Structure 1
Amino acid sequence: MSAARVSGQPASGQPVSGQPVADDATTTIPRIPAADATTVIPRVDETSLIGKIPDVVPADADDSGKPARDRDDSGAPIRAVRRKDVYASAYADYTRVTVGSVIRTTLRTTGELLITCGLVLLLFAAYEVWGKAAIVDSHQNDLNQQLAQAWDTPTSSPSSSPATNTLAAPPGDAIARLYIPRLDKHWVVVQGVSPADIRYAPGHYPKSAMPGQDGNFSMAGHRMRSVFWDLDKLQVGDKIVVETRTTWYVYAVVKTRVVKPTQVEVVSPNPPEVKAAAKATNDKVTPGNPTVSLDRFLTLTTCNPKWDNYQRLIIHAALVDGSERPRADGPPAELKG
C-alpha cells in the first residue's frame, strides 16, 4: 500500500472529501515560502557602521569658512608666520632681543641674585648665632677637662700658698673658672687676650692681677651668644664668682660703663672711679652685711654694642670681704641658689 493511502490522502497531497485529516506535526505552523537564507536580515552596507568623517577644513579657513587666525585673543601668535622668504616661529615676537626683553632679563637676574645673597646672609647669621655657640661649648668642655686634669695633679710643694699656685700659667692655658649667677653662665678662663686666645673662652690680661690678689683681675671676651652676649644685663650688686685651684672668690659688681676702645686704663691695677664706686657701695651696706674690698678688683671687657665693636662695655667688681673659702669646702652660696 502506498504512503498516500495510509494517511487517507490521495497521492496529490489534497484531503479526500468526507474523510478525517490526520494531525501532522507541522499543521499549525504557517508555511514559509522558500526564500534566501538572509531574507529576514536587513541588508547593511559595508560602511554603514563607520561614522562619517567630516570634510577637512582648509588650513586657511575655520569652520565658518572664515580665514584662520594668526593670533589668539591675547595677541600671541598661534602658528608660524611667513616673513619674506622664511617662516618665523609662533613665538618669534617673544624670543627676539628687544629693549623690553633685555630689561626683563636684567631685572629677573638681579632678583635671583638678591634672593641668593639673602639666603647666604641668613645662613651666615644662623652660623654666627648657633654654629659658633656649639663650637665654643665643645671647646669649653675640652678646657674643662684640661683644667680638671691640671688641678687634680698633686703639686710638688703642697704647703705652698694659694697665691703661688695661681701665678704660674702658660699663655693659652686654662687658669680659672668664671661664674655669673644672674646670667646662669660659666666659662673656663684662659691666659692671654689675643684673638687666638679668646676665640673660644674669656681671656686673662697677662699683666693684670690674678684672682684674689691686690690689683685688678681683668678679662676680655667676645660679644657672642656663647660668651659675653648678655653682659649688659649685669647690675650693681650682682655677684661674680671665680674658682681657682685652691680657692673660691666672690666679687660684687660696683660699676658698669661704656668707653672708647682707646681707654685702656680700665684694666689698670687701680681703675679710675672704681675705688670711689666701691666706697659708695660700702656706704650703702646695712649693718651685718659684708662690705667690698677697696684694693682687689675684677674687670670684664667686651665689645659694644652687639654686632659691632666701636665701643667697649666694662663691668667693674670688687672682692666681697670674707668671701674667700677653700675649694675643698664646695661652691659658695651664690652658686647654690
Structure 2
Amino acid sequence: MAAQAAGQDPSATAVIRTADAPTGLLPAVRKKDDAKPVRPAVKDKGDAVGAASVAAAAAAARDGGGDEPAEETKPKRGEKVVKLRPEQTGEGYKSVYSELTRPTLGSRIRTGVRVSGELMITFGLIVLLFAGYEVFGNSAKVEDEQDTLANQLDEQWNDPTVAPSTGPSKAAPAAPGKDLVGRLYIPKLGMNWVVVDGVEPHDIRYAPGHYPQSAKPGKIGNFSVAGHRIRKIFWRLDELHPGDVIGVETRSNWYVYKVSSSEVVRPTQIEVVAPVPGQPGKKPTKAMLTLTTCNPKFNNYQRLIVHAELVETVKRDPKLPDAGRPADIKKKA
C-alpha cells in the first residue's frame, strides 16, 4: 500500500486518517497546469494562522502604505503652528480657537491702543462739529437776535417819553434798555450790527459788545468794541485796511471813522483798548474806535485789532431818509 502510495501522483487527493496524520500544515495542493504554487498568507507573531494583522494594516494605512512619513515643515519667521484638533494639557484643552483668541500682554496693549485711538477720533469729531456749528451753524440765530435787538433799539429811539427835560426841575425818564449802545456799520463788508453794552460771554454771544470802561461813541478817548470771529459778526475783519470806513449810529448822531491801522496781539495785551491805544495812562486827545476779535479763524490764541479815527460827525434826523445817514456809510467800497 505504501508502494502504491509512493507510485501515485502527489497532486492527487489522498485520504489520511486523523489518527495517522502528523501534526503540522498540509502541503498546498497544486493543479497540473498551474506553474506557480499558492503561497500561504504571511503571518505576524502572535496572530492566528492565515489571518492578516489588523494592527499592522491600520499602521500601514496611517503611514501611507508603508512609506516613510514626510519630514515636518518648520514654521517660517513670524508664523505660528497650531494643531487643528484639540488636545488636553495641564492647563485644559487647547484648540485652534483657544490658541488664537487667548489674550496675551501684546494683545491687551494693542487693544488698549486701538480703543484709545477710537475714543480720541470720536472726541475730535465732536469738537470739530461743535466748532463748525459755532462758526457756521448759528448764523440764523445771530440774525434772529440782531433783528430783535434792532427792534428794541428802534423802540427806544422812537419813544417820546425819553426826550430831554425842558427844565432843571423835572428830570426826563430813563431810556429803556440801557445795554444797547447803537449800530455799527462796515460798508466794505456790507455788514451792520446792534452793539450791546458789555463784553461778557452772554453779552456778545449774538452781537458785538462795547467795553464798558472805554469811551462812548464820538467822545474823546477810545470807543472799543469786541465781537466773535463767526460768519455773521467779525469773520472778515481782517479785510479792513487803512482808509476803510467804519460808521456808528447813536440816537443823536452819526459818526464816521476811518481805519488807521491793524495789528495782531496776544490776549493779555489789554493796552490796545486803553484811551490812547498802546499807551496806558496817557491822556487822550483824539476820538478813536477799536475793534477786537479772535485770531486766527477757528482759534483764539491771538487777537486781531483794528484801530480807526473819527473824521466826521453828522446829526441824526429821523425825519430825513435813512435818518440822514452820511454818504460814506451808505456806499459799499
Match of 2:88 among 69, 76, 83: 83
SS for the counterpart of 2:154 is: helix
**1:181 maps to 2:187:** yes
**1:151 maps to 2:145:** no
Residue in structure 2 matched with residue 255 of structure 1 by the alignment: 261
Q: Give TM-score scaled by structure 2 length.
A: 0.60
Residue in structure 2 matched with residue 335 of structure 1 by the alignment: 330
Residues paired across the two proteins, number: 247
Amino acid in the other structure paired with 1:329: P
- Partner Cα distance (2:150, 2:239) in 1: 26
Assess, with a 3 A threshold, how the Cα gap between structure 1 residues 105 and 134 changes in structure 2: closer, same or farther: same
1:153 Cα deviation (Å)? 2.1
Q: Is the CA contact 1:180–1:186 (under 8 Å) kept in the aligned structure 2?
A: yes
What pairs up with 1:290-301 in 2 under 5 angstroms?
295-301=286-292
Residue in structure 1 matched with residue 19 of structure 2 by the alignment: none
Structure 2 alignment gaps of length 5 or more? 1-60, 70-74, 167-171, 280-284
Amino acid in the other structure paired with 1:299: T
1:244 Cα deviation (Å)? 1.9
Match of 1:314 among 297, 305, 308: 305
Match of 1:241 among 219, 244, 247: 247
What pairs up with 1:103-252 in 2 under 5 angstroms?
103-157=109-163, 173-252=179-258
What pairs up with 1:44-83 in 2 under 5 angstroms?
80-83=85-88
Assess, with a 3 A threshold, how the Cα gap between structure 1 residues 110 and 209 changes in structure 2: closer, same or farther: closer
- Partner Cα distance (1:210, 1:301) in 2: 16
Residue in structure 2 matched with residue 41 of structure 1 by the alignment: none
Structure 1 alignment gaps of length 5 or more? 1-60, 68-72, 274-293
- Partner Cα distance (1:316, 1:206) in 2: 18
- Partner Cα distance (1:191, 1:176) in 2: 9
Assess, with a 3 A threshold, how the Cα gap between structure 1 residues 208 and 105 changes in structure 2: closer, same or farther: closer
Assess, with a 3 A threshold, how the Cα gap between structure 1 residues 142 and 325 changes in structure 2: closer, same or farther: closer
**1:94 maps to 2:85:** no
1:199 Cα deviation (Å)? 2.5
Assess, with a 3 A threshold, how the Cα gap between structure 1 residues 241 and 112 changes in structure 2: closer, same or farther: same
Residue in structure 2 matched with residue 3 of structure 1 by the alignment: none
- Partner Cα distance (2:269, 2:118) in 1: 46
Structure 1 range deviating more: 222-231 or 247-256: 222-231
1:75 Cα deviation (Å)? 7.5
CA RMSD of aligned residues (A): 3.9
SS for the counterpart of 2:99 is: helix
Assess, with a 3 A threshold, how the Cα gap between structure 1 residues 134 and 259 changes in structure 2: closer, same or farther: same
Assess, with a 3 A threshold, how the Cα gap between structure 1 residues 228 and 169 changes in structure 2: closer, same or farther: farther
Query: Percent same amino acid among aligned pairs?
Result: 53
Assess, with a 3 A threshold, how the Cα gap between structure 1 residues 88 and 261 changes in structure 2: closer, same or farther: closer
Assess, with a 3 A threshold, how the Cα gap between structure 1 residues 237 and 97 changes in structure 2: closer, same or farther: same
1:174 Cα deviation (Å)? 1.9
Q: Is the CA contact 2:196–2:204 (under 8 Å) kept in the aligned structure 1?
A: yes
- Partner Cα distance (2:271, 2:200) in 1: 18
Amino acid in the other structure paired with 1:332: P
Q: Is the CA contact 2:156–2:175 (under 8 Å) kept in the aligned structure 1?
A: no
- Partner Cα distance (1:97, 1:258) in 2: 55
- Partner Cα distance (1:80, 1:113) in 2: 39
Q: Give TM-score scaled by structure 1 length.
A: 0.59
- Partner Cα distance (1:259, 1:121) in 2: 26
Q: Is the CA contact 1:169–1:191 (under 8 Å) kept in the aligned structure 2?
A: no
Q: Is the CA contact 1:297–1:318 (under 8 Å) kept in the aligned structure 2?
A: yes
Residue in structure 2 matched with residue 52 of structure 1 by the alignment: none
Assess, with a 3 A threshold, how the Cα gap between structure 1 residues 225 and 94 changes in structure 2: closer, same or farther: same
Q: Is the CA contact 1:169–1:175 (under 8 Å) kept in the aligned structure 2?
A: no
